[in-house]
Amino acid sequence: MLTSALVAGCAAWLLAAVLHFAFVQKYILLGEAYETGAAVHYAGVVPADGHADAGHSHDEPAAEGHSHDEGAAAHDHGDAGAVSTGTRTLWTTVFFGLVYVAYALILVAGFGLARAYGKIITAREGLLWGIAGFASFQLVPAMGLAPELPGTLAADLGARQVWWWGTVAATAVGLGLLGYGRSLMATALAVVLLAVPHLVGAPELDGFSGVAPPEVAGAFSARVLGTGLAVWALMGWVAGHVWARTPDNAA
């Protein structure tokens, strides 16, 4: 069981790191350039409503009960600017490993649960489970909390984390019931679980105060989700493949 998770987690780690540095990292850096004022959206154009310091509209919302007393900008960019690119790349790579091995452990724990109920998992089921995992952990939470470009202001962190975990749990259980449930009741419960997080709605701010161009934020979100799908699909397929070849699980 552990072998399947570790092999799949490591395969996912490798692909995640490669795809991240190929497609995503440049948007993070670009977002930070706008956040710190190194780059200015609509450079030279002063908005009519007196937001002359639009680049730093951070201060107001950050002060109103947001957990970052120093304001979002002071918070990470001091550090991000201070560390070398090499160190930053290293930590990013290490944390991709941790996150995807953690995802793989959860995924394979799901395989174990399926086995306990007599379900057989092969590479094909693994692929479907991987896509469902992507939906549960990334795509569906992104419906309420789109992947944030650095510099984007958002509602209270604690409230967003609660919504995130609730949505992940409800979506994963909902998809599992939809896939393996046998009764009308199970299907109905699945539909309710899938819908509830969106009826409740994710915490959000009243206004918008992003300093980066919408094109950058849009491209960033789309690439985060696209690369996430690729990595999860690979992870599920590999996990299913290794799982089906482990003697105890094949029968």
Chain contacts with another protein (rule: CB under 8 A):
1-2, 5, 20, 24-25, 28, 67-68, 72, 75-76, 79-80, 83, 88, 91-92, 94-96, 98-99, 101-106, 108-110, 112-113, 115-116, 137-138, 141-142, 145-150, 154, 157, 160-161, 164, 224-225, 227-228
Alpha-carbon gap, residue 136 to 89, rounded angstroms: 27
Cβ of residue 91: shortest distance to another protein, in angstroms?
A: 4
Q: Measured from the CB atom, is 18 or 187 closer to another protein?
A: 18
Cβ of residue 105: shortest distance to another protein, in angstroms?
A: 3
Q: Measured from the CB atom, is 39 or 187 closer to another protein?
A: 39
Cβ of residue 245: shortest distance to another protein, in angstroms?
A: 19
Alpha-carbon gap, residue 187 to 178, rounded angstroms: 6
Alpha-carbon gap, residue 113 to 6, rounded angstroms: 18
Q: Measured from the CB atom, is 80 or 186 closer to another protein?
A: 80
Q: Measured from the CB atom, is 102 or 188 closer to another protein?
A: 102
Alpha-carbon gap, residue 209 to 211, rounded angstroms: 6
Q: Measured from the CB atom, is 113 or 120 closer to another protein?
A: 113
Cβ of residue 199: shortest distance to another protein, in angstroms?
A: 20
Please check whether residue 174 is in contact with residue 198, taking contact to mean a CB–CB distance below 8 angstroms: no
Cβ of residue 114: shortest distance to another protein, in angstroms?
A: 9
Half-sphere exposure for 1 (CA within 13 Å, toward CB): 12
Q: Measured from the CB atom, is 115 or 187 closer to another protein?
A: 115
Alpha-carbon gap, residue 195 to 192, rounded angstroms: 5
Cβ of residue 196: shortest distance to another protein, in angstroms?
A: 19
Q: Measured from the CB atom, is 120 or 188 closer to another protein?
A: 120
Cβ of residue 37: shortest distance to another protein, in angstroms?
A: 18
Q: Count helices and strands (H / E) in the chain.
A: 11, 0
